[in-house]
Amino acid sequence: MKYITKSCSPESLEVYKTKKDACYKNIPQDVKEDVRKSLVAEQGGICCYCGKRIFPDHHSVIEHLLPKGLKQYSHLQLEYTNLLCSCDGGETDRKGKTKTEKRKFPSFCDDKKNNKLLKVTPLDPTCEEQFSYDEEGNIYGETDDAKDAIKILGLDCAPLNNARKAAIEPYLVLELDNEGWCDEIEDLSQKHDGNYRSFCFAVIYYIRNFKMIV
């Protein structure tokens, strides 16, 4: 999970919100795509929860941090501060598969969260500090809230573990001094052509905790 700094709400969304009976269910497609593009851009092209690459035009969904399906949060369904962009959580991989084949593609992120509430979120400045990773791509919660988030979002499923492992692998054999590793961390912390590298926060954790000399 990477900390997200929210940007300004798209003008088209703010205009739509002024209309009588405006609701997320009836949001015009062009407004919805404006919102999706804005969310993907502010997140640097990675899923708000797992950190895998997402795109505005496919394999991504608009996520309500405080679920619109819970009555007490329904008034936030069009509030940009409550919107994030998630990967589809394996939904595309499961599409058209038999029940047996679907088991190979577990649900995660938005697809698994449903209407559950998270106590640690990408909008929490301390969220990155609450998770740790090993060279095999496994994820661990450093707080009870983080452990709950891993369970709720399915962040410890095999597809994500394998993807994080693949992101970390190039650094396993790389040998640098601390100054060199600091440069790598700085590079991983920056957007390139508007995008972060997939699972950049997991790679940064690995470098800091397994490669740098204290």
pLDDT of residue 99: 79
End-to-end CA separation in angstroms for the chain: 25
How do residues 35-70 score in pLDDT, each as one tens digit? 999 999 999 999 999 999 998 877 799 999 999 999
User: For residue range 78-110, what is the model confidence (pLDDT) as tens digits?
Assistant: 999 999 999 999 887 788 788 788 777 889 999
pLDDT at 104: 79
Give the mean pLDDT of the chain: 94
What is the reported pLDDT for 35?
96
Torsion angle in degrees (nearest 10) through CA of 66, 124, 42, 21: 20
User: 97 or 138, which is more confident?
Assistant: 138
Q: Check pLDDT > 80 for residue 14.
A: yes
pTM passes above 0.85: yes
Average pLDDT over residues 102-124: 92
Pairing of strands 139-141, 83-87: unpaired
Q: What is the pLDDT of residue 59?
A: 79
Check residue 95 and give its pLDDT: 81
pLDDT score of 117 more than 90: yes
Residue 105 is predicted with a pLDDT of 83
Contact 1, 122 (CB under 8 A): yes
As given in the structure block, the two tokens for residue 162 are 């394998």
pLDDT at 40: 96
Structure tokens at 142: 């450093």
Please give the average per-residue pLDDT across 129-139, as a whole number. Answer: 97
Q: How confident is the model at residue 9 (pLDDT cuts 50, 70, 90)?
A: very high
pLDDT at 28 over 90: yes
CB-based burial label for 84 (10 Å; 0-12, 13-18, 19+): buried
For residue 60, the 8-state DSSP code is E
Least confident of 73-77, 124-128, 203-207, 210-214: 210-214
Q: How far apart are CA 144 and CA 200, in angstroms?
A: 23
